[in-house]
């Protein structure tokens, strides 16, 4: 599972495993997840469909500012550790979030779904080049199918949540 998949699906073990592999380290993986999502750890691992949604309220903004000032030394250390390609990914994530916020006035979940889908496609493509047998192809296809099914279920649940909120 990719780090972004783990974030979207609130998989704490997957988040830790992939964050450590990406260079965050055993001690800063929680902070790395928080930077990626702009959410505190308890929200990152919350199983609710809308756990990554940023509402953009004044309290959200003040919470982010408080975390930024409180964890500035750890954030600096994390950025120092991460490979340049991961820093580029963070900037891309930030740009997507800003565009999404401007166009949709809100939810960052779409950003994670887009990045998760694109990165999943890249991983599948890389695995296909290393494929050695028909069984490998079936395994890769099935893994991608399950991921897409989970994304679709998440999108439907999120859409239903938005409809419910619009009606109340």
Average pLDDT, the chain: 83
pLDDT, tens digit, 9 for 90 and up, residues 29-88: 999 999 888 888 988 898 887 777 776 677 878 888 898 899 999 999 999 999 998 888
DSSP H or E run through 139: helix 134-167
Predicted TM-score (pTM) of this structure: 0.68
Dump strand ranges (E) for the chain: none
Strand, coil or helix: 52: coil
Angle at 130 between CA 128 and CA 132, to 5 degrees: 95
Q: Give the pLDDT score at 8.
A: 79
Query: Helix or strand or coil: residue 77?
Result: helix
- Label residue 4 exposed, middle or buried (CB < 10 Å: 0-12, 13-18, 19+): buried
How much is the pLDDT for 80?
94
Phi and psi of 2, rounded to 5°? -75, 160
pLDDT at 106 over 70: no
Number of domains within the chain: 1
CA 153 – CA 137 distance, rounded (Å): 24
Alpha-carbon span 80 to 71, nearest angstrom = 14
Res 105: pLDDT: 60
Q: Which residue has the higher pLDDT, 119 or 163?
A: 163
What is the extent of the structural domain holding 128? 3-167
Residue 104, pLDDT above cutoff 70: no
- Specify the higher pLDDT residue, 3 or 24: 24
Q: For 28, which DSSP code?
A: T
Mean pLDDT of 152-160: 80
Pick 107 or 42 by higher pLDDT: 42
């Amino acid at each position: 599972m990719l780090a972004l998949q783990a974030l979207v699906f609130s998989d704490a073990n997957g988040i830790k495993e992939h964050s450590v592999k990406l260079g965050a380290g055993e001690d800063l993986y929680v902070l790395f997840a928080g930077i990626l999502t702009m959410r505190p750890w308890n929200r990152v691992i919350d199983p609710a469909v809308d756990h990554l949604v940023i509402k953009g309220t004044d309290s959200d903004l003040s919470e982010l500012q408080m975390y930024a000032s409180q964890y500035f030394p750890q954030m600096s250390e994390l950025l120092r550790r991460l490979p340049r390609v991961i820093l580029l990914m963070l900037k891309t994530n930030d740009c997507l979030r800003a565009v999404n916020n401007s166009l949709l006035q809100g939810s960052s979940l779409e950003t994670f779904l887009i990045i998760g889908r694109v990165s999943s496609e890249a991983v599948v493509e890389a695995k296909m080049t290393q494929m050695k047998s028909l069984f490998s192809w079936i395994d890769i296809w099935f893994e991608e199918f399950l991921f897409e099914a989970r994304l679709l279920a998440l999108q439907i649940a999120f859409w239903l949540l938005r409809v419910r909120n619009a009606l109340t």
